[in-house]
Each structure stands twice: as C-alpha cells, then as structure tokens.
Amino acid sequence: MLTVENLNVHYGAIHALKGISLHVEQGEIVTLIGANGAGKSTLLKTVSGLLKPSGGKIVFENQSIGGKAAQSIVKAGLSHCPEGRRVFANMTVEENLMLGAYLRKDRQGIKDDLDDVYKRFGRLLERKNQQAGTLSGGEQQMLAMGRALMARPKLLLLDEPSMGLAPLLVKEIFNIVQEINKTGTTVLLVEQNAHMALSIAHRAYVIETGQIVLSGSASELADSEEVQKAYLGG
C-alpha cells in the first residue's frame, strides 16, 4: 500500500532522513520506534506532504506522492494525526471533526462517519459542543484521531498518540487503534512507548539518527536483545 524508497530529507544543512526505505501492506499496523529526534515524525510529515523530500520515492497505492501537496495526499486516502494533537482550540469538538471531512462531498457518508466517531469515542459525544481547548489531553487525542478518521482514510499515520497520557488512557487509545485497524484502516504508528507499540503492531522498524537500523515482525523485535536494552528497559 505504501512504499518509501531511499528517502532523504534535509532541514537546511541538517540531513534528517538518510536513505530510508520501508513498506506498509494493506491491513497492517506497522510501528516505527526510536529515540527522540531520530526522524520518526519527520518521516510521517514527509509522507503526508507537510515536508518536501530532497530525494527518494514515496508511492501510495501505485501513485507517486513524494513532494505533492498535503490536500491531494489526503484526497488519495492518507490521513495524518500529528504529534501534540493540534486540535483547533477555539472551535467546538464537532467543528473540529467536521474539518476532517473538509474535502468530502458525500453528506450521508459524513453523517454516518460522525456517528461512528461518536460511538467509538463516547466522551466526544458528551462534549460535542464544548471548545476543543477545554478538553483533557486524552480527550484531545481522541478528537485528533476522530478528526483524521473523518477523512475516511485507507492509511492512518499516527504520531505519538500516547504522549503525555496517563497509563490507563494509553491502554484505551491503543485498544482504539486496534479497533480502527480491524475495521479496515491500515495504520503506520510512530510511538515512543515501544512496549505498547510492539504489543499491537504486526511489523516494526527501528529508526536511529535518520536511518532504519532494524526491521522485522513486532514479536521478533520485542524479543531482540538490542531493542530490549535500548527501548524496553531490558
């Protein structure tokens, strides 16, 4: 579904991604783990069109999307749920969700998807007329995920969904990620909580200083001594 080949990204003189290659098959949860500043968020931003690559290829469903405008990438079926939630604080929960469907014209489909989001995230329904800025961190994360789902993506890019959340909420968010995947959405997950990420993913890549250093099934990486030492506190 998604193929990234020899991807290079520069921030001015800084070479942030150095020849990264990876792939995501339809129906998978694939996770990227790595330390802060390793290039995980940069990779997602480049795939979703927020950053321009300086070299390499990004192909989504046989369509080259490297360097294309973000809105055309959303239209193609790829949604990005960014690090730090980025909800529109002065707009209501429902207004934030409707922005996720901005490019869609199918009124009934939008209404059905809004109902689905409210079913999946009951707390958002209770707070639908509340300003997004007044929500707790966990609720804002649910809102950011719900908004991304309103674009009806085939592939969801999720950046650090557990950041700053209490352990119980982290579990809830990861259960929801699994549910989203089971209902047919492919997921590329960037997550610092390597233990949780590997527990729900099918495959994983380890990224260090802008390069992929390890890849394999999630269970293989969870059992790897190297990964345990570096990321699982083993």
Domain segments of the chain as ranges: 2-231
Q: For residue 20, what pLDDT is reported?
A: 97
Looking at residue 174, its amino acid is F
Q: How far is it, in rounded angstroms, from Cα 191 to Cα 185?
A: 18
pLDDT of residue 8: 97
Residue pLDDT, tens place only, 6-38: 999 999 899 999 999 999 999 999 999 998 889
**Bridge partners (DSSP) listed for residue 9:** 17
For 33, the 3-state DSSP assignment is strand
CATH pick for 2-231 out of 3.40.50.300, 3.30.200.20, 3.40.50.10800, 1.10.150.50: 3.40.50.300
Instruction: Answer whether 96's CB lies under 8 Å from 114's CB.
Output: no
Backbone angles phi, psi at 220, to 5 degrees: -60, -45
Specify whether the CB–CB gap between 64 and 223 falls below 8 A: no
| pLDDT at residue 63, as a whole number | 95
In terms of Cα–Cα distance, which of 152, 148, 123, 156 is closest to 138?
Answer: 123
- Picking from 32, 33, 22, 8, the residue whose alpha carbon sits closest to that of residue 59 is 22
Element (H, E) at 2: strand 2-11
Strand order in the sheet with 29-33: 78-81, 155-159, 186-190, 29-33, 203-208, 211-217
- pLDDT value, residue 233: 72
User: Residues in the chain with pLDDT < 70?
Assistant: 234
Residue 160 contacts residue 191 (beta carbons within 8 Å): yes
pLDDT reported for residue 234: 60
In a 13 Å sphere around the CA of 130, the CA atoms on its Cβ side amount to: 14
Q: How many CB atoms are located within 10 Å of the residue 161 CB?
A: 25
